[in-house]
Amino acid sequence: MLGLKQVHHIAIIATDYAVSKAFYCDILGFTLQSEVYREARDSWKGDLALNGQYVIELFSFPFPPER
């Protein structure tokens, strides 16, 4: 067992940024800490927190990387 005590953040690539942001904020109770549209990448990036702790970087990409 690794014995982790905390996680700094998790990065998530969303296929639908608006729907994903609504899910994390409206359903799960995260708060949007910052949000920026990155024109050069045609991509959104949002930083979401739960209980004041920064935990999720939410990204959108027009062509997400293959899995």
Residue 31 placed within a domain:
yes
Residue 2 placed within a domain:
no
Residue 3 placed within a domain:
no
pLDDT in tens, 10-56: 999 998 999 999 999 999 999 999 999 999 989 999 999 999 887 89
Secondary structure (H, E, C), 1-42: CCCCCCCCCEEEEECCHHHHHHHHHHHCCCEEEEEEEEHHHC
Residue 39 placed within a domain:
yes
User: Per the structure, how many domains does the chain have?
Assistant: 1
pLDDT tier at 7 (50, 70, 90 boundaries)?
A: confident
Q: Give 49's strand partners.
A: 31, 54
Residue 25 placed within a domain:
yes
Domain of 24 in residue numbering reads as 10-60
Residue 56 placed within a domain:
yes
Nearest-angstrom CA–CA distance, 48 and 61 = 17
**CATH number reported for the structural domain that contains residue 29 in this entry:** 3.10.180.10
